[in-house]
Amino acid sequence: MLDHLQPLPILLLLLLFLSLTLSTSESDTPISRFQQYLRINTAHPNPNYTTPINYLTNFANSIPNLHSKIIHLTPTIPLLLLTWPGSNPSLPSILFNSHLDSVPAEPEKWTHPPFAAHKTSDGRIFARGAQDDKCIGMQYLEAIKAIQSSDPNFVPLRNVHILYVPEEEVGGFNGMRKFVERKEFEELNVGFVMDEGQASTNDEFRVFYADRTPWHMVIKAVGMPGHGSKLVDNTAMENLMKSIEVITKFRESKFVIVKAGLAANSEVISVNPVFLKAGTPSPTGFVMNMQPSEAEAGFDIRMPPTADPQLMRKIIEEQWAPAWRNMTYEITEKGFLRDNMGRPLMTLASDTNPWWSVFNEAVTRAGGKLSKPEILASTTDARFMRRLGIPTFGFSPMKNTPILLHDHNEFLKDTVYLEGIKHLKTCFAGISILEKMILHTI
């Protein structure tokens, strides 16, 4: 009996040894650390913030000179702040930001489970958050770790903060918006921010200097109800349709500019109908011989920071929903177009902004190339920092990569991820060296 059983424990021990060896070596690589971070499900509507904060804190504790602090924005919503002290902490600091949460995923529509971080044989790592934006969250730390391993004496000139915020994907209202109003944020004395950007499909990195601002607009028409056979003026439907015609013409005038290649989608004001609500319901659908007394339509308007909000309101009031056509309107502003000083909400991407010069030079020195700075078509937490007048660029070093944020089968290739770390490493070190030459007076 014993003779028969003995090989089994030996085999088990061997397997245990092998699995331990494999898991130890796996946990030691930047790719496996990225996979582990991706496996933590932080998708809405119930993002788990405790596990990723613990994971990041443990990793940060393994890197010399990084200090961690957890700050609660609400009793259940925390953020993680890491600090790499600089040699001159009285100078304004640099903040590298990423968010902990992600949008949900529909697993049945993915080729690999969205929270397994499966790596294919060609190196693609499939996971929700792989591009948006758990990549940069880990790359920041890997870059600092790499700098310190190649030069243990390296100290940045100014304090460098790495921030992991919650709730970005639901507007940031219980996340970054709350944090920028806190004393702890003021105390960071932030001079420059790097936040998330987007993948580029070619060999150049993309950089974003502004976000577009959404307005949600509902226009409503009222009129006398009437028999469906009568031709009368000013019915609710007629007035609403006239407005839709005018708005459609405005939309086309912007779209023509984009189609002609004269501006990017994100550089023009876009307006898209999102709902129509009219008609008198009947058990079989709608009453077909009656003109309704009310009709409404909803629109998603997106404005670049160069748009004039006063002019936009005037256009809406006089042309899109004029009172003389029995129209009313409601606008819900979902963001801001101006900073606290009344300036357009954007960061100058030219050499008049010394932070731009330093960043651009650091990317170039790292062997990278930036494409023409862009306005992001959507919105990020960057708007809360720009509102305070803090220069903020969106930059996620992912090139030759399809843009898959919020999409099914979001992935990032291992080689692209590793190259991004190298790039951020040179950027971190480069910024610190270059700023000694360019920025020491800021």
Q: What is the DSSP letter of 170?
A: G
Query: Nearer Cβ to Zn ion, position 133 or 410?
Result: 133
- Rounded to the nearest 10 degrees, the angle between the axes of helix 50-61 and helix 30-38 is 160
- Whether residue 203 is annotated as binding a ligand: the answer is no
Query: Nearer Cβ to Zn ion, position 196 or 410?
Result: 196
- Whether residue 419 is annotated as binding a ligand: the answer is no
Among candidate residues 344, 341, 320, 340, the one with its CA nearest the CA of residue 330: 320
CA–CA separation, 161 and 173 (whole Å):
21
Residues ≥6 apart with Cβ < 8 Å to 380: 168, 195, 196, 211, 394
- Whether residue 211 is annotated as binding a ligand: the answer is no
User: Least separation, in Å, of the C-beta of 196 and Zn ion?
Assistant: 5
- Whether residue 72 is annotated as binding a ligand: the answer is no
Chain CA centroid to CA 127, Å: 16
Q: Which residue matches tokens 């009219």?
A: 278
Q: In degrees rounded to 5, what are phi and psi of residue 180? A: -65, -15
User: Least separation, in Å, of the C-beta of 166 and Zn ion?
Assistant: 12
Residues ≥6 apart with Cβ < 8 Å to 396: 131, 133, 135, 136, 196, 197, 198, 199, 420
**ω before 45 within 30° of 0 (cis)?**
yes
- Whether residue 406 is annotated as binding a ligand: the answer is yes
User: Least separation, in Å, of the C-beta of 267 and Zn ion?
Assistant: 21
CA–CA separation, 244 and 33 (whole Å):
52
Burial class (CB in 10 A: 0-12, 13-18, 19+), 123: middle
Q: What is the DSSP letter of 92?
A: P
| Strand 77-84 with 67-74, pairing | antiparallel
CA atoms within 13 A on the CB side of 220: 8
Q: Where are the alpha helices (DSSP H) in 104-182?
A: 134-150, 176-180
Query: Nearer Cβ to Zn ion, position 420 or 430?
Result: 420
- Assign 148 to helix, strand or coil: helix
User: Least separation, in Å, of the C-beta of 131 and Zn ion?
Assistant: 8
Q: Where does this chain bind Zn ion (CB under 5 A)? A: 132-133, 196
Can you read off the two tokens belonging to residue 328?
A: 């009313």
CA atoms within 13 A on the CB side of 283: 0
User: Least separation, in Å, of the C-beta of 132 and Zn ion?
Assistant: 4
Among candidate residues 84, 238, 244, 211, the one with its CA nearest the CA of residue 159: 84
Query: Nearer Cβ to Zn ion, position 196 or 296?
Result: 196
Query: Nearer Cβ to Zn ion, position 196 or 267?
Result: 196
Q: Bridge partners of 286?
A: 281
User: Least separation, in Å, of the C-beta of 396 and Zn ion?
Assistant: 9
Query: Nearer Cβ to Zn ion, position 156 or 166?
Result: 166
Query: Nearer Cβ to Zn ion, position 196 or 414?
Result: 196
Query: Nearer Cβ to Zn ion, position 165 or 439?
Result: 165
One of 101, 167, 267, 419 is an active-site residue; which one? 101
Is residue 339 flagged as an active site residue?
no
CA–CA separation, 279 and 402 (whole Å):
43
One of 133, 142, 167, 168 is an active-site residue; which one? 168
User: Least separation, in Å, of the C-beta of 133 and Zn ion?
Assistant: 4
User: Least separation, in Å, of the C-beta of 292 and Zn ion?
Assistant: 42
Is residue 101 flagged as an active site residue?
yes
Active site residues: 101, 168
Residue ranges for the known binding site for Zn(2+) are: 99, 132, 169, 196, 406
Residue ranges for the known binding site are: 99, 132, 169, 196, 406
